[in-house]
Amino acid sequence: MIDRAEIYVPAVARFPKDLERRHRLLEPAREKGFKTGLMLVLRDQRDLTPDMIQRQLDNLDPYVGLSAAERPAVFIMHPNKPLTGPHRLNFLDNPKYSQEYVEQGVDFVDQLPREFTPITGSALSFHLNTLIPPVRWHDNPYYWQRKFEEVSINLKSLADFAARRNIGISLETTPVPEFGDMEKSEDTFMPEEGIYFADLVNPWPFFFWTNEVKKIRELGIKLKIDLCHSYIAMQAISLVQDLPGLTKFDGMITYGISEEDLSRVVEIGRFPSLVLSNTETGSIWDVNDARGLYRTPELHGVQTYFEEDVTLFEGNIPTPHLQHLIREGVKMPIKFVLEIHEKDLKNSPNTKKSLDRVLELV
C-alpha cells in the first residue's frame, strides 16, 4: 500500500523528446524516494485515432524496460475540446457522443502496458464541459438538479464501462467562468452563439459542497481537484457577492453563481480543509497557483482575465494555504500532478522551480 503521493508532470506522448524531458525533470523527486509519472495530455480527437494511439504507445515503449524505480507511472487526461460542432464534448447537450468520446480515452488507458499502471490505480481524467450561453442560465436549483439527473445517466454508463476495465475515472473541477483565462478575440468567438469562450457558463463547476459532488461519487467517479481552478471559482463567489444592488443579479448570470453559492462565501477561507476533506485514496490533484480574476466592463468597469497553472507561490493562493496543502498532499496516496504553465517547453523552468519548492517542504 502506497503511503505517499506519486508525483507527476504533464507530457505529450506524440513527441518522444517531450516524454524524455518531462521524465528527466522528475529525477529530483525520484532521488527523494517518490514514485514519479507522466499525465499524458490529449489535445483533441486526433490523439484518439488508432494510428495516433499506436504512435504514442510506440513512443512510450522505451520506458517499459526501465527499473521499477525509474519507470514512470502513466495515466491520461482526456481533451476538453472541441467546444462546438456535432462532435463537441458536452455532457449536457451532446451526451451520447460525449460518453462515446470519453470511452475512447478509457480504451486508450486500457492499451497502456501494465508496467505503467500507477500504484494508485489506472486512471483517466476528463471534463464535464456542460457549457451554455449565459442566456440559458438561471438560478433555479431544482431545474439544475433535474438536469444533472439526466447528465448522470451517461456518466453512470461511462463509469460502468471504465470499471469493467478496472480503470478509475475522475471529473475535473473548473474555474469560474471556465474559460475566463482566454481573451476575447476572433479566435475565441463562437459565431453560432454570438459569444466568446469566456462568456460560457457551467452550471456545475463542482464546488466542494454541492450535491453534484456527492452524486458523482455515488456513480463511482472521483473528483480531480485542480487547485487553481477551485481557488479561482471560490474567489468568483466573493467577486459576485461584493457587487451592489441589481448588478449582483447580473453578476450571478455572468458567472453562473447561485444564491446557494453566495451563501457559502464564508467557505473561501477554508479552502485547504475543503480540498483535503474531498480527497480520497487515488484522487488526482493538479497542483499549481492562480493569479487574477475574470472581470467585465459591464460589472466592474474593466476587462481582466485570470491566469491558470501559475508557478507555485507566485500567484494569489495564500502561501500558508499552499504550504499546508503540499505538506499534506505528498503524504497521501494520490496522484500529485505539477501542472504548471510553460513558455519554454524545452527547459520547463517553472515546473522545475515548482518541484523544487515542493521537495523543500517534504
Per run of 10 residues, the mean pLDDT along the chain (length 362 residues) is 89 98 98 97 95 98 97 97 95 98 98 98 98 95 96 98 98 98 97 95 96 97 98 97 94 96 91 97 97 97 98 98 98 98 96 98 94
The dihedrals phi and psi of 29, each to the nearest 5 degrees, come to: -70, -40
Which amino acid makes up residue 92? Answer: L
Q: Cell triple for residue 278? A: 474531498
- 6-175+198-227+280-288+309-361 CATH fold: TIM Barrel (3.20.20)
Nearest-angstrom CA–CA distance, 137 and 165: 37
Q: So what's the pLDDT on residue 156? A: 98
Nearest-angstrom CA–CA distance, 268 and 283: 22
Nearest-angstrom CA–CA distance, 171 and 274: 17
HSE at residue 154, side-chain half, CA atoms within 13 A, is 21
Nearest-angstrom CA–CA distance, 24 and 255: 40
Nearest-angstrom CA–CA distance, 252 and 137: 9
- Alpha helices in 164-315, H assignment, sequence order: 211-218, 227-241, 245-255, 259-262, 271-277, 297-300
Q: So what's the pLDDT on residue 339? A: 98
Q: So what's the pLDDT on residue 265? A: 87
Cβ atoms < 10 Å from Cβ of 327: 12
Q: So what's the pLDDT on residue 3? A: 81
Q: So what's the pLDDT on residue 1? A: 55
